[in-house]
Amino acid sequence: MKNPNEPLPSPLPSLNALRAFEAASRHLSFRRAAEELGVTEGAIGQHIRGLETALALKLFERKPRGLALTENGKDYAVGVRRAFDLLVEATQALRPQALRLAMSVTPTFAAKWLIPRLPDFTAAHPEIDLRIVATERLSHFQTDGVDLAVRYGSPPFGAGLHAELLFDDILIAVAAPRSLAGTRKTNGIVARHALLHDAHNLWPQFLAQIHQPLPSAAEKHIRFNQTSLAIDAALEGQGIALAHWAFVARDVAAGRLTRVFEDELRTGAGFYLVFPRKLQRPEPVAKLRAWLHQQALAQAQAALA
């Protein structure tokens, strides 16, 4: 008669045997399964034999060129693999996940302002996994999965969106110092150098403000669809670019670019932080907003120093 106090046999094989079987079923090789799990090939074979004995089923066919799963082995492998996947998911759910944020910006803002400053952000907030979406197209917060955007223009930017001014749009004319060598900054300077236009095409407005005519010759104009390209062309000595002062401040400070005129053009527009009033991740978005404002303020203070 069976002892009522005797523990019932476990309905499950050992976890090590199941891990050995799962690895061997994927690789169809005891050797490769042993390498993956960091054990000996003999240990894998022992686990599989014990598992087959416990189940009273054959799981593998030993063939001259390797292993093959039996029909029972194939069915069991699917269930065991699914069980391990569930264990992985449950474990990951308990671990703290990185705070993921997506920010939409224009390519020029990304290249000329944001990227040089990103190491400061990642050092200050290593817990935030930041994804930068650089596009001229206006991103949709819901469909594109964007948490925060930097947009050029004037609010409002849409229903249900909040806008915070990052900095006003202030344009200055810049060129590479070598391209101006031997040229005085006089009223005729525009006629002697190519004007580098971007998609905003604000050269006519700027020249009207400083009372200079717009050159009519086609060779005096080079047109780009992005401001960053016009700035790069100016750096290469190809002409004079009209750009936001914040995008060229580092190049001016380093002597790679120089201001052609002291005049500046205030367009009345600005660069705004735009985000939904109902945020999916309010805490990390608040950290990113605070950092962006801090960087903009620091640059403005440096310009006044």
DSSP-derived letter for residue 278 is S
CATH code for position 74 = 1.10.10.10
Looking at the fold, whether 257 and 111 belong to one and the same domain comes out as yes
Looking at the fold, whether 302 and 186 belong to one and the same domain comes out as yes
Residue written as token pair 């749009």: 169
SS3 sequence of 223-274: ECCCHHHHHHHHHCCCCEEEEEHHHHHHHHHCCCCEECCCCCEEEEEEEEEE
Q: In angstroms, what CA-CA distances link 218 with 67, 194, 231?
A: 74, 9, 20
Looking at the fold, whether 293 and 155 belong to one and the same domain comes out as yes
Nearest CA-CA partner of 167 in 302, 1, 300, 59: 300
Other C-beta atoms lying within 10 Å of the C-beta of residue 199: 14
Number of domains the chain contains: 2
Looking at the fold, whether 256 and 236 belong to one and the same domain comes out as yes
Tell whether 2 is covered by a domain.
Answer: no
Q: What is the pLDDT of residue 221?
A: 87
pLDDT tops 90 at residue 183 = no
In single-letter form, the type of residue at position 293 comes to H
Mean pLDDT value across residues 14-29: 92
Looking at the fold, whether 210 and 249 belong to one and the same domain comes out as yes
Residue ranges of E strands in 113-244 = 128-134, 148-153, 161-175, 195-197, 221-223, 240-244
Q: In angstroms, what CA-CA distances link 203 with 67, 87, 159, 195, 223?
A: 74, 62, 33, 8, 11
Q: Return the percentage of the chain with pLDDT > 90, whole number.
A: 62
Q: What is the pLDDT of residue 97?
A: 57
Buried b (16+ CB within 10 A) or exposed e, 228-239: bbbbbbbbeebb
Tell whether 5 is covered by a domain.
Answer: no
Residue written as token pair 């955007």: 149
Q: What is the pLDDT of residue 293?
A: 97
Mean pLDDT value across residues 17-39: 91
pLDDT tops 70 at residue 294 = yes
Tell whether 305 is covered by a domain.
Answer: yes
Write out pLDDT tens, residues 201-257: 999 999 999 888 877 765 678 999 999 999 999 999 999 999 999 999 999 999 999
Tell whether 8 is covered by a domain.
Answer: no
Write out pLDDT tens, residues 51-103: 999 999 999 998 887 889 999 999 999 999 999 889 888 876 776 556 789 99
Q: What is the pLDDT of residue 193?
A: 86
Tell whether 7 is covered by a domain.
Answer: no
Tell whether 75 is covered by a domain.
Answer: yes
Domain encompassing residue 113: 105-305
Tell whether 100 is covered by a domain.
Answer: no
Q: What is the pLDDT of residue 268?
A: 93
pLDDT tops 90 at residue 24 = yes
Choose one of 35, 65, 94: the last residue of a domain. Answer: 94
Q: What is the pLDDT of residue 135?
A: 86
pLDDT tier for residue 3 given thresholds of 50, 70 and 90: low
Looking at the fold, whether 153 and 42 belong to one and the same domain comes out as no
Tell whether 9 is covered by a domain.
Answer: no
Q: 28 burial class (0-12, 13-18, 19+ CB within 10 angstroms)? A: middle
Choose one of 41, 65, 94: the last residue of a domain. Answer: 94
Q: Which residues have a Cβ under 8 Å from the Cβ of 172 and sit 6 or more positions away?
A: 242, 243, 245, 248, 259, 261, 263, 264, 265
Task: Of 22-26, 41-45, 139-143, 201-205, give the lowest mean pLDDT range.
Answer: 139-143
CATH code for position 217 = 3.40.190.290
Task: Of 21-30, 173-182, 221-230, 266-275, give the lowest mean pLDDT range.
Answer: 173-182
Looking at the fold, whether 113 and 52 belong to one and the same domain comes out as no
Looking at the fold, whether 34 and 128 belong to one and the same domain comes out as no
Sign of CA dihedral 167, 169, 172, 174: positive
Mean pLDDT value across residues 259-275: 94
- For residues 49 and 91, the model is more confident at 49
- For residues 89 and 274, the model is more confident at 274
- For the question of whether the overall pTM of this predicted structure is more than 0.85, the answer is no
Choose one of 64, 94, 124: the last residue of a domain. Answer: 94
Are 245 and 303 in contact, with CB atoms under 8 Å apart? yes
Mean pLDDT value across residues 152-180: 91
Q: What is the pLDDT of residue 8?
A: 44
Looking at the fold, whether 89 and 121 belong to one and the same domain comes out as no
Are 294 and 189 in contact, with CB atoms under 8 Å apart? no
In single-letter form, the type of residue at position 37 comes to L
